[in-house]
Amino acid sequence: MTLRDRPPVVSVARAFYQRATEEVARDLLGKLLVVRSEDGSVTVRVTEVEAYLGPSDAACHTRGGLRTARNRTMWGPAGHAYVYLVYGLHHCLNVVTVGEGRGEAVLLRGARVEEGLELVRRRRGGSVPKRRLCDGPGKLCQALGVTRALDGADLCTADAQLAFLDDGVAAPALEVATLPRVGVDYAGEAASWQLRFLWRRPDSAPRVTGGTDPRSPEGRR
C-alpha cells in the first residue's frame, strides 16, 4: 500500500459507541487505541473484546439494575472509559456503549502494540515477548498505563487522553472467532453467551507505521 492509497486516520465519533453493544464490540476489532500520558504515548491495535449487556446480563457489573459507586460510569453516557480493579490488583478498561441509563459496555481484553513499544516494555518488563505484552485485560491496562484515574474519561473530545482511531483497518469476518466470555462461570446461562470476539490473525493486517518490516515470513504459530 502506498501513501496515496492509505485511508486517512480519523478519531472514532460518539455515534460509533451509541449502537448495540455487540456491534460496537465487533467493530472495535482492528481499531487503534491511543493513550497519552506524561511518560509518552502508546498506540495499540485492538484484537480481543467482550460485550457486557447491562441489567439482563448476569455476568455484567450492572446485573439486575445494580447501581454502586464503582459502576457509576457504566450507567453514564456512551463513549466514556469505565475502569475498575479486579482481584485487588489488576485494572480492566471498558468503553461505555448505547447510552445513558443502559449500563452496557465493551471490555478490552487484548491488543497488539503499534507505537510506543519502548514505554510498554518499561511498564511490563523487558523480558516479556512482544505478543504477550497485551494479551489480557490486566496486562493491557498495565501496558497502556491505564488506572482508575481514567475512570469516566471522555473518549470523544479533541484533547482526550484516551481515544480510539480508525485508520481503515478492520478484522475480516472470517478471522473473527466468537466465544463465551472468560471468568464469568458464576453467571449461569449468561456464562455461555457468545460475547467474546477474538481477531485470530491480526498479524495479517497491513502495517501502519515503521516502514519496512524486517521479520521473516510468518512461521510457526
Interaction site with DNA (CB under 7 A): 50, 52, 59-61, 66, 68-71, 74, 84-90, 92, 94, 105, 107, 124, 128, 136-140, 142, 148, 181-184, 186
- In the complex, minimum distance from the CB of residue 175 to DNA, in angstroms, rounded to a whole number: 18
Output 59 or 167, the one with its CB closest to DNA. 59
Output 39 or 185, the one with its CB closest to DNA. 185
- In the complex, minimum distance from the CB of residue 184 to DNA, in angstroms, rounded to a whole number: 5
- Give CA–CA dist 219/214, Å, rounded: 14
- In the complex, minimum distance from the CB of residue 71 to DNA, in angstroms, rounded to a whole number: 5
Output 111 or 171, the one with its CB closest to DNA. 111
Output 109 or 167, the one with its CB closest to DNA. 109
Report DSSP letters for the chain, one per residue. Answer: --TTTSPPPEEPPHHHHSS-HHHHHHHHTT-EEEEEETTEEEEEEEEEEEEE-GGG-TTSTTGGG---SGGGGGGS-SSBEEEEEETTTEEEEEEE-S-TTS--EEEEEEEEEEE-HHHHHHHH-TTS-GGGTTSSHHHHHHHHT--GGGTT-BSSSTT-SEEEEE-S----GGGEEEEPPTT-GGGGGGGGS--EEEES-GGGSPP-SSSS--PPSP---
Output 140 or 198, the one with its CB closest to DNA. 140
- In the complex, minimum distance from the CB of residue 78 to DNA, in angstroms, rounded to a whole number: 15
- In the complex, minimum distance from the CB of residue 159 to DNA, in angstroms, rounded to a whole number: 26
